[in-house]
Amino acid sequence: MPSLKTLRNRINSVKSTQKITSAMKMVAAAKLRRAQAQAEASRPYAVRMAEMLAALAASEAGNPNANSLLVGNGKSQTHLLVAVTADRGLAGAFNANIAKQVRQKAAILQAEGKRVKVFALGRKGSDALRRDMREQISGTKNFVGKKVVTFADAEEVAQEIIRGFKAGEYDVVTLVFNRFHSVMSQKPFEQALIPAAAPTANDNTMEHNYEVEPDDGSLLDRLLPRNLAVQIYAALLENAAGFYASQMTAMDSATRNAGQMIKRLTLDYNRARQANITKELIEIISGAEAV
Partner 1 sequence: MPLALEIISPERLLLARDVDMVVIPGTEGDLGILPSHAKVVTSLRGGLVDIYESGKITDRFFVTGGFAEVTESRCSVLADEIIRQAAIDTVAAQAKLAEAKAAFDAVDTQDTDAYREASDKLISAQAMVDSAVAAPAQADTI
- d(CA 91, CA 191) in angstroms, rounded, equals 23
Contact status: 52 vs partner 1 (CB under 8 A): yes
- Element spanning 97, H or E: helix 94-111
Q: To the nearest 10°, the Cα dihedral for 144, 149, 153, 155?
A: 150
User: Considering the rule CB under 8 A, would residue 230 count as an interface residue with partner 1?
Assistant: yes
Residue 279 within binding range of partner 1, rule CB under 8 A: no
What is the rounded distance in angstroms from the CA atom of residue 194 to the CA atom of residue 197? 8
- Give the range of 48-56, 107-115, 118-126, 264-272 binding partner 1 by CB under 8 A: 48-56
| 213 is an interface residue for partner 1 by CB under 8 A | yes
Q: Please pick, from the candidates 24, 56, 109, 228, the single residue that binds partner 1 as defined by CB under 8 A.
A: 56
Of these, 3, 16, 104, 218, which contacts partner 1 (CB under 8 A)?
Answer: 218
DSSP state of 168: T
**Does 261 interact with partner 1 (rule: CB under 8 A)?**
no
The interface with partner 1 within residues 132-151 (CB under 8 A) comprises: 150-151
Q: Does 29 bind partner 1 (CB under 8 A)?
A: no
As measured in angstroms, the least distance from the Cβ of 114 to partner 1 is 27
Among the listed residues 1, 5, 10, the one whose alpha carbon sits nearest the alpha carbon of residue 265? 10
Q: What is the DSSP letter of 122?
A: S
Interface contacts to partner 1, rule CB under 8 A: 38, 41-42, 44-45, 48-49, 51-52, 55-56, 150-151, 154, 166, 209-214, 218-219, 221-223, 226, 229-230, 233
